[in-house]
Amino acid sequence: MTTPAGVTPQDQAEARPSSGKIACTALRVTGSVAALVALYYLLPLDHSSAPAAITFLLIGLAGFLALVAWHVRLIIRSPFPGLRAVESLATIVPFFLLLFAVTYVVLAALSAANFGGHLTHTDGLYFTVTVFSTVGFGDITAKTETARLVVTGQMIADLIILGLAIKVIVGAFRRGQHRRGDPGQHPDPSTGR
């Protein structure tokens, strides 16, 4: 096993997160996602108005963008940017999905015509994930123009999430590595390795 000039195996080992740090990150992600899902299921979503639903979605999307910006800063400053990037994606994507699930449940509660019937919290989450994954089984469909516009908005946002947000997080990961000066990430000019 060769290492870049001047980098000892001990330096390389110190550049990797410990198993305890990985376990702590996994617990933080699990706790965050569990808290988001619990909050989603506890919200009384069937008692909202259309303006409240739209306002909630817009505020939620603004909160989502703020969350992405905050996580980018955390990744850049982290001593383990790769681990922080994985944690960020594992937190940001569920937040995004639950935001649209809330919107669909509220829309269905406002008018049964929006989706052809009442959506439970589980139905809203299921529909959101089928749209996100582009599976679209067809068992739940947007029936009204309003519902179709929201679903179209999610589809566009999905493409942005899959493209731009992942690119931003990967870029932050690379900037964090560069800031940290990770061994093996940049070739040694004298050897080209």
Q: What is the pLDDT of residues 132-182, one digit of tens each?
A: 998 888 899 999 999 999 999 999 999 888 787 777 777 777 877 787 675
Residue 113 located in a structural domain: yes
Q: Is position 2 within any domain? A: no
Within a domain: residue 102?
Answer: yes
Per-residue tokens: 92: 């940001």
Residue 7 covered by a domain = no
The number of domains in the chain is 1
In this structure, what DSSP letter does residue 57 have? H
The token pair that represents 163 in the structure block: 């493209």
Q: Is position 5 within any domain?
A: no
Q: What is the DSSP letter of 17?
A: P
Distance between CA atoms of 145 and 114, rounded to whole angstroms? 8
Q: How confident is the model at residue 6 (pLDDT cuts 50, 70, 90)?
A: low
Residue 168 is assigned to a structural domain of this protein: yes
Residue 170: predicted pLDDT: 77
Q: For residue 153, is it within any domain?
A: yes
Over residues 117-125, mean pLDDT: 94
- The pTM for the full model equals 0.77
Identify the DSSP state of 43.
Answer: S
Burial call 102-135: b when 16+ CB within 10 Å, e when fewer: bbbbbbbbbeeebbeeebebebbbbbbeebbeee
- Give me the mean pLDDT over the 117-141 stretch: 93
Domain membership of residue 127 as a residue range: 18-180
In a domain, 10, yes or no: no
Model confidence at 13, in pLDDT bands (50, 70, 90)?
Answer: very low
The predicted structure's pLDDT at residue 142:
95
What are the angstrom distances between the C-alpha of 5 and each of 1, 63, 102, 187? 12, 45, 54, 10
Q: What is the pLDDT of residue 192?
A: 47
pLDDT tens per residue, range 44-91: 887 777 787 778 888 988 998 899 899 889 988 889 888 888 898 889
The letter for the amino acid at 11 is D
Q: What's the pLDDT at 178?
A: 80
Residues 64, 2: Cα–Cα separation, whole Å: 43
Q: Which amino acid type is present at position 90? A: A
22, 32, 33, 57, 169 from 37: Cα distances, Å: 22, 9, 6, 17, 23
Single-letter amino acid code for the residue at 69: A
